């Protein structure tokens, strides 16, 4: 069931087009991510949903009703700010109660709901502290509690993990997912961090230059990028541009590379091969599709990354192997992959 329906939304700031006819559907109860580099328009879209910004054109519907006609303070949409924006002159419980007090709920109910949500985020003991007496992770929990306690239809999270150090991050990541399951609220997280988006979201919209490039589940986004931008932005990829032929992708200077069938022959396309799909082997006659020289080997514990220079290709080809790499810098290797392990992307021309 569609909760939010965004259609043809554009927004310009002077000469800059922040959003260029964006269309998106966000489903009831899902964990949705808006992912893109800074300046891609994701924050503007978030501010439009929250009501801090109006689009120049286009419509936003919530449950089929016009959301843009409702002023920010009456929308059933709550936002967890990147800076948390906690009221510094109020205690934790006052901060959390603020939104409920605006609904003119009975005091007893407010106290009960604030107590319950503080327990959920594990801050019962800190209820009377001021924000500056809390750690970064605790402040974030307050911000989250303050937004969730209103039981909004839609919860927006602006770069929710970016300000936290690594340890707290993964903890908070799990907690966000757990919370989303528990409360059943639709979450929309805005982030430039693909790991954050991939690990949290059910579906991700990748944005670039004010446009939506692709909307898909994380696995599909990773395995079947549909635009060159997505292929380059999501994870590491080896990209080759050439012409589609019956046998694969014909690349100038490299020959025909294995590519999945299905694209129109003769057209220009981009082939994306994940480093972990690449096999390295000894150089013997007829082995492999490319020849390369190992430039660098880096060991990451679980995996090793091998960078290869391939004559005729201007960028290094990256291969990932489990555990320790069995090749050394300077070695000549044969590079190969299965046609079905690669993704063929047709650039819009």
Smallest distance from another protein to CB 91, Å = 10
70 near another protein, rule: CB under 8 A: no
Q: How many residues bind another protein (CB under 8 A)?
A: 27
103 or 328: whose CB is closer to another protein? Answer: 103
The first and second tokens of residue 199, run together, are 């690990």
- Contacts (CB under 8 A) with another protein, residues 271-300: none
- Which residues make Cβ contacts (< 8 Å) with residue 273, sequence separation at least 6? 237, 238, 240, 337, 341, 342, 343
Contacting another protein (CB under 8 A), which of 74, 265, 300, 328? 74
**C-beta of 133 vs 171, nearer to another protein:** 133
Q: For every residue of 287-318, which 3-state class applies, written as one string?
A: CCCEEEEEEEEEECCCEEEEEEECCCCCCCEE
Comparing CB distances to another protein, the nearer of 78 and 191 is 78
List beta partners, residue 90.
Answer: none
- Range 141-180, binding another protein (CB under 8 A): 146-147, 150
89 binds another protein (CB under 8 A): yes
Stretch that binds another protein, among 71-79, 219-227, 243-251, 336-344 (CB under 8 A): 71-79
Report the site for another protein in 16-55 (rule: CB under 8 A): 50-52
* Residue 103 near another protein by CB under 8 A: yes
In the complex, the smallest distance separating the C-beta of residue 273 from another protein, rounded to whole angstroms, is: 43
Which x/- pattern over 104-143 shows residues binding another protein (rule: CB under 8 A)?
--------------------------xxxx----------
Minimal CA–CA distance to 230: which of 211, 251, 207, 210? 207
β-sheet bridge partners, residue 343? 272
Position among 87, 195, 245, 283 found at the interface with another protein (CB under 8 A): 87
Closest to 285 measured CA to CA, from 225, 341, 334 = 334
Nearer to another protein, 70 or 239 (CB): 70
Query: At its nearest, how many Å lie between another protein and the CB of residue 150?
Result: 7
Q: Report the nearest approach of another protein to the CB of residue 179 (Å).
A: 18
Residues β-bridged to residue 256:
250
DSSP string of 76-125? SEEEE-TT----TTS-HHHHHHHHHHHTT--HHHHHHHHHHHHHHTT-GG
Nearer CB in complex with another protein: 147/230: 147
47 three-class SS = helix
CA–CA separation, 206 and 215 (whole Å):
6
Residue 349 CB burial class (10 angstroms; 0-12, 13-18, ≥19) = exposed
Among the residue ranges 54-62, 76-84, 235-243, 298-306, the one whose residues contact another protein (CB under 8 A): 76-84
Question: Which of 16, 72, 116, 174: binder of another protein (CB under 8 A)?
Answer: 72
Q: Which of 7, 8, 59, 98 binds another protein (CB under 8 A)?
A: 98
- Residue 62 CA to residue 212 CA, distance in Å, equals 19
User: Which residue, 13 or 299, has its beta carbon nearer to another protein?
Assistant: 13
Work out which of 81, 137, 209, 287 binds another protein, going by CB under 8 A: 81
Give 138 or 304: the residue with its C-beta nearer to another protein: 138
Element of type H or E holding 207:
strand 203-208
* Token couple for 93: 């419980």
CB of 149 to another protein, least distance (A): 9
Which one, 74 or 166, has the nearer CB to another protein?
74
Rounded distance, CA 145 to CA 120, Å? 8
Residues 6+ apart with CB under 8 A from 124: 115, 118
Where does this chain bind another protein (CB under 8 A)?
A: 50-52, 72-74, 77-79, 81, 83, 85-89, 98-99, 102-103, 130-133, 146-147, 150
């Amino acid at each position: 069931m569609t909760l939010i329906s965004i259609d043809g939304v554009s927004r310009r700031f002077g000469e800059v087009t922040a959003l260029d006819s964006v269309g998106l559907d966000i489903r009831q109860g899902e964990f949705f991510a808006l992912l893109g580099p800074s300046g891609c328009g994701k924050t503007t879209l978030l501010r439009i949903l929250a009501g801090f910004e109006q689009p120049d054109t286009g419509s936003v519907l919530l449950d089929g009703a016009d959301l843009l006609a409702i002023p920010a303070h009456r929308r059933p949409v709550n936002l967890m700010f990147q800076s948390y924006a906690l009221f510094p002159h109020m205690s934790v419980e006052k901060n959390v109660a603020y939104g409920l007090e605006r609904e003119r709920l009975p005091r007893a109910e407010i106290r009960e709901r604030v107590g319950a949500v503080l327990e959920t985020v594990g801050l019962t003991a800190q209820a009377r502290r001021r924000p500056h007496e809390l750690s970064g992770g605790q402040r974030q929990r307050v911000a989250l509690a303050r937004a969730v306690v209103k039981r909004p239809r839609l919860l927006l999270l602006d770069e929710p993990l970016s300000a936290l150090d690594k340890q707290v991050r993964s903890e908070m990541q799990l907690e966000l997912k757990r919370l989303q399951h528990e409360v059943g609220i639709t979450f929309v997280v805005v982030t430039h961090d693909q790991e954050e988006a991939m690990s949290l979201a059910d579906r991700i919209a990748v944005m670039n230059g004010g446009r939506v490039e692709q909307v898909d589940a994380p696995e599909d986004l990773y395995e079947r990028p549909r635009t060159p931008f997505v292929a380059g932005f999501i994870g590491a990829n080896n990209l080759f541009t050439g012409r589609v032929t019956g046998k694969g992708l014909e690349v100038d200077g490299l020959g025909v590379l294995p590519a999945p069938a299905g694209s129109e022959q003769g057209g220009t396309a981009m082939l994306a091969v994940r480093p972990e799909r690449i096999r390295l082997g000894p150089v013997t006659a007829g082995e492999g599709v490319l020849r390369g020289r190992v430039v660098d080997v880096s060991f990451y514990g679980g995996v090793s990354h091998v960078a290869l220079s391939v004559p005729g290709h201007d960028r290094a080809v990256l291969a990932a192997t489990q555990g320790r790499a069995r090749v050394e810098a300077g070695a000549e290797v044969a590079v190969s992959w299965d046609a079905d392990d690669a993704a063929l992307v047709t650039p819009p021309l």
